Amino acid sequence: MTGPGGAHAAAAGAPRIRVAAYVVRRRTDGGRELLVFDHLGAPGAGTQVPAGGVRPGEDLRSAVLREVEEETGLTDTRVVRALGADERPHPETGQARHTTFFLLSAGRRTADTWQHTVRGTDADAGLRFGCRFVPLPLAAPLADGQDGLLGRI
């Protein structure tokens, strides 16, 4: 069975397995920037980082790279390391979730801002996101507590 965002539904009571990406790039002045996006059709969704469900048989590193590409169009990222996991229910459905956060690096030649239409076959296919790099530390929190592990980068 496929659940929200296209992830394989877990057995009853088991958490949905997810990944989230902190895609970071270095500025020429040595500072760091984080890739974030806003849902262009739903401003109330808040600013987010790429995240989503892991498909059956998919390893976590492949899943996080796939989510970044699907949600932002970036293909030149690389996984640096896993940062840890967060266990919290979905804010709307209450479904249990286990999200592993990864630090990824992006090249300096990546655009500062762009719009992307989500690709793939998951429930978010066709959504439009406004992507951008913002300086770290963040000026405002991310939606759904996604900034909870930023201190580990």
* Nearest Cα residue to 132 out of 150, 148, 115, 152: 115
pLDDT digits 0-9 by tens, 81-125:
999 999 988 888 889 999 999 999 997 689 999 999 997 788 888
What pTM value is reported for the model? Answer: 0.89
Look at the domain 4-135 and name its fold. Nucleoside Triphosphate Pyrophosphohydrolase (3.90.79)
Tell me the average pLDDT across 124-135: 95
pLDDT digits 0-9 by tens, 18-65:
999 999 999 889 899 999 999 998 888 999 999 999 999 999 999 999
Alpha carbon distance 35, 49 (integer Å): 7
Query: What are the domain boundaries of the chain?
Result: 4-135
- CB count within 10 Å of CB 64 equals 29
pLDDT at 133 over 50: yes
* Encoded tokens for 4: 């929200």
